[in-house]
Structure 1
């Protein structure tokens, strides 16, 4: 009697393999100079296999950004409305976003996108929709749904923007300019708490 493997399905392994290779190539070569052919060769699969998972390069790029968010548990399945106090939820998601924003690969990705934006605005739009825009929407949905805030859609969107402005502080700009920034992991909790407290004050003023 043959026992089936309980590991990850091969199709899922191939998809992850492609995403990891694509992420490395987007970082090293940029969006424009990274082709589906190059991704196939780098990941050790056929071009047909790449297209079986991703319809085009735009879809592949979006998936690379989404994978990074999922790695830090920043997605709809990992951030949900619970019975926990809003402040606790805000602190939790602040910690996750701080880890994401200080990830060297994410910092480099921002640098690559900014560098290409003048000649290729399309890639900036892709990145914004897959990363910042999706994150804004996620936080806005929490602020609409949680009973302690229950903001209207427009208000929730505005307060979500405030959330990221408070969270990113000045360290994010310094990181994009490749200047030394003071946001080590041991300071995440304190900054997350401050961000949550300030956002609660903003919500109460709405």
Structure 2
């Protein structure tokens, strides 16, 4: 039977870990994985490389920790938004605008470029980004859509599929433009969301056969 005691990380240790991860994240975004050395990370963070190895194992482990943390930030703005009391159009519009506000930030565009550049070398980072980024955003969209399917105001269908359609319609083209270095204005974001909602709600909404009105 092992007599080893679990390693306890102190508050100072947690702060040190976050400091290393933050500095490494900025360097990876600017220079890519290969362009950053452990020596440079620790030169900026201070201390010995032992700190990095103790917290993250190696450079690859640190890189994965950076990707995981940054992926979660995509949905920080929408996960706590309560749109349950809003009409569906207004709720999705609010969620969509908040998501695009985050995605179009220069920091996040640089992160997307990093994931694309390094996913061939590290397939796990693409999975991490997808699960914590786009997939989680779709989850929150589906959460907003589901009650309207249940109460009959939307056609019967899978809210997750509806959420995927909405997410992809508002994100894919604008993100592609941003990745190509083009400026994506707030007005472009709003127009894209409005167009997506007009198209999707026209197909989703249950209508009265006699009047054509929404139930």
Aligned residues: 186
Contact 1:18 1:50 in 2 (8 A): no
Alignment of 1:90-109 (within 5 A): 90-109=92-111
Instruction: Determine the structure 2 residue equivalent to 1:3.
Output: none
Alignment of 1:136-155 (within 5 A): 136-144=138-146, 147-150=147-150, 155=158
Per chain length, whose mean CA-contact separation is higher, i.e. which structure has more relative contact order (CA < 8 Å, sep 6+)?
1
Q: What is the CA deviation profile of residues 24-51 of structure 1, one whole-angstrom value per residue up to 9, with x for unaligned ones? A: 1231233566677765553457727983
Contact 1:21 1:39 in 2 (8 A): yes
Instruction: Determine the structure 2 residue equivalent to 1:195.
Output: 196
Contact 2:170 2:192 in 1 (8 A): yes
Aligned mates of 1:110, 1:24 — CA distance in 2: 13
Aligned mates of 1:25, 1:59 — CA distance in 2: 14
Whose radius of gyration is greater, 1 or 2? 2
Please point out which of 42, 62, 72 is paired with 1:66: 72
Instruction: Determine the structure 2 residue equivalent to 1:121.
Output: 123
Question: Shift of the alpha carbon at 1:91?
Answer: 0.7
Contact 1:143 1:149 in 2 (8 A): yes
Q: What is the CA deviation profile of residues 39-77 of structure 1, one whole-angstrom value per residue up to 9, with x for unaligned ones? A: 55534577279839xxx533442122223542xx132xx
Kindly tell me: are residues 131 and 154 of structure 1, through their superposed partners in 2, closer, same or farther at Cα, counting changes over 3 Å? Answer: farther
Contact 1:19 1:63 in 2 (8 A): no
Aligned mates of 2:74, 2:37 — CA distance in 1: 20
Structure 2 residue runs without a partner (length 5+): 1-10, 207-215
Instruction: Determine the structure 2 residue equivalent to 1:186.
Output: 187
Instruction: Determine the structure 1 residue equivalent to 2:3.
Output: none
Which one is further off, 122-131 or 32-41?
A: 32-41
State the TM-score, normalizing by the size of structure 1.
Answer: 0.69
